[in-house]
Structures are given as structure tokens and as C-alpha cells.
Amino acid sequence: MNNKRKECYTGIFNKIDCIEDRISEIKEQLVNLKKGFLEGPAENNGATEVDAEKALLEIISETTIGTLLESDSQGDG
């Protein structure tokens, strides 16, 4: 394999590693956010407000993952 091809693959693998790290960070943040919503003082919140917060959490999760999947790759081309 020539040197230029090795550099290309190395760059791609490095970008994949960065994406995986970022996905892990986002996943951890979402878990913490969800835990905060679920463990919060539910007795002070009406059922409608709790449902709204859960729906918001789902939207944030879907939007974040969708944005990562739709982002343009930056490689040779």
C-alpha cells in the first residue's frame, strides 16, 4: 500500500474515533439529563409537565443523533 493511501486511511480512522468519542459524550449527557428529569421532584410537577419534559428529551436526542448522521464528511474527494 502506498504512503498516500495509508495517510488517507489514518485520517479517516482518526475522524471516526473523534465521532465515536463525541457520540459517547452526547450519550452520557443525555443519560444525565434523563436521570435528572426522572429523579426530579415529580410530586411538584403536574403529569402534563413531566410528559412534556420527556418529549423534549426525546426530541433533543433524535435531533442530536440526526445532526451527527447528516453532517458532511470531510475527506479527500
Q: Is residue 75 part of a domain?
A: no
Please count the structural domains in the chain.
Answer: 1
Q: Is residue 73 part of a domain?
A: no
Q: Residue 77 pLDDT > 50, yes or no?
A: no
CA distance 33 to 57: 8
What mean pLDDT is predicted for residues 61-67? 79
What pLDDT is recorded for position 41? 59
Question: What pLDDT band is residue 20 in, cutting at 50, 70 and 90?
Answer: very high
Q: Is residue 77 part of a domain?
A: no
Cell numbers 479527500 label which residue? 76
To the nearest whole number, what is the mean pLDDT of the chain? 79
Give the residue numbers spanning the domain of 19. 3-67
Q: Is residue 37 part of a domain?
A: yes
**Rounded (to 5) percent helix, strand, coil in the chain:** 85, 0, 15
Q: Is residue 76 part of a domain?
A: no
Q: Is residue 29 part of a domain?
A: yes
